Amino acid sequence: MRRPRLLTTLVAATLLAACSGGPEGTDESDAPPPRGDDSAVEEQDPTAAGEACAEAFAQAAAGDGELEAAIGACEDIASFTSAAAEHPDALGDVEPQVWLADACTEATDPAVTESALCAEVAGEQS
């Protein structure tokens, strides 16, 4: 007689534990404290051109520089495309990705061919 009662008690305890409502809820006190203004990181638009990239395009559009300088100055295709949109006179009627693919393919200067931007272009074309 003791065995069925013990078994019933164990089954009841297991069911009670399993159906107890799950994990404890969380509230605002569980969140980490907010960062102070001095540790806040300024959010950037991922498609925004970097300063050096935009400057290279501005100089090329004004006729004061070669657009190949933008290959070394722009960090990625998104920043190159963004700078091209900001300075449409730099490329004329050529699409930024087309100009960039041609420039990386035809370049002989290692500073251009080994740039992060041309490496990204090569990865996208493969």
pLDDT tens track for 58-104: 998 888 878 888 888 998 999 999 999 999 989 989 999 999 999 99
| Residue 30 within any structural domain of the chain | no
| Residue 23 within any structural domain of the chain | no
| Residue 70 within any structural domain of the chain | yes
Go through 30-64 and write b for each residue having 16 or more CB atoms within 10 A of its CB, e for each that does not: eeeeeeeeeeeeeeeeeeebbebbbbbbbbbbeee
> What is the number of domains present in the chain?
1
CA distance 47 to 31: 31
CA distance 72 to 52: 9
| Residue 92 within any structural domain of the chain | yes
Is the Cβ–Cβ distance between 79 and 53 less than 8 Å?
A: yes
Output the pTM of the full model.
0.58
| Residue 90 within any structural domain of the chain | yes
| Residue 24 within any structural domain of the chain | no
- Is 50 exceeded by the pLDDT of residue 46? no
What are 91-94's contacts with CB under 8 Å, separation 24+? 91/67
| Residue 44 within any structural domain of the chain | no
Q: How many CB atoms lie within 10 A of CB 113?
A: 16
Domain span at residue 107 reads 51-125
| Residue 118 within any structural domain of the chain | yes
